[in-house]
Amino acid sequence: MDTSCHPLRIFLVEDSVDIRELMIENMAMIPGVVMAGVSESEDDALKQLNTQPCDILIVDIQLKKGNGINLLRQISERKSPDPLKIICSNNATEVFRRVGRQYGVNHFFDKTSEFPQLFELLKDLSSANFACHSRA
């Protein structure tokens, strides 16, 4: 994750319109957070991420086109700095958690029950980033 002081740039990869809108709406309420981009497919997300820097990448595993695990694998093979990686998925099995860690996933949240924890983490990260701004 880029540690320079700026708003936290979040890139969201989620194919469910309802969940995507809910997540964007909740992130908009967190001071110091901006949306760097949104995608609903693996290929589109990779294209955008190759040109659009982000600090935090939130990925669903199952997408309409492609999947989040392949996206994470491709990102881990790039030369550019990795964002903080978060999986937010209904597929919260230990197998997916282990594979996620293999590709550098820092946090894993179950979409069905752990939304509050995801947004608390984002608030904490934003607060820590805000402290960076106040020291500058």
Check pLDDT > 90 for residue 81.
Answer: no
Whether 79 and 101 have beta carbons less than 8 Å apart is answered as no
- pLDDT, tens only, 99-119: 999 999 999 999 989 999 999
Q: Which of helix, strand or coil describes residue 108?
A: strand
- pLDDT, tens only, 14-71: 999 999 999 999 999 999 999 999 999 999 999 999 898 899 999 999 998 999 999 9
Q: Which residue has the higher pLDDT, 36 or 128?
A: 36
Q: Considering the entire predicted model, what is its pTM?
A: 0.90
Check pLDDT > 50 for residue 3.
Answer: no
Q: Which residue has the higher pLDDT, 25 or 127?
A: 25
Q: Residue 114: what pLDDT?
A: 93
Q: CA 110 to CA 97: how far, in whole Å? A: 10
Residue 78: pLDDT band by 50, 70, 90 thresholds?
Answer: confident
Sheet holding 105-110, edge to edge: 33-39, 8-13, 56-59, 84-89, 105-110
Check pLDDT > 50 for residue 1.
Answer: no
Whether 13 and 60 have beta carbons less than 8 Å apart is answered as yes
Average pLDDT over residues 81-93: 91
Write out the E strands in 1-136.
8-13, 33-39, 56-59, 84-89, 105-110
The b/e string for 12-49 (b: 16+ C-beta within 10 A; e otherwise) is bbbbbeebbeebeeebeebebbeebbbbbbbebbbebb
CA angle 3, 117, 50 (to 5 degrees): 40
Domains of the chain in start order, with CATH, are 8-130 (3.40.50.2300)
Residue 4: pLDDT band by 50, 70, 90 thresholds?
Answer: low
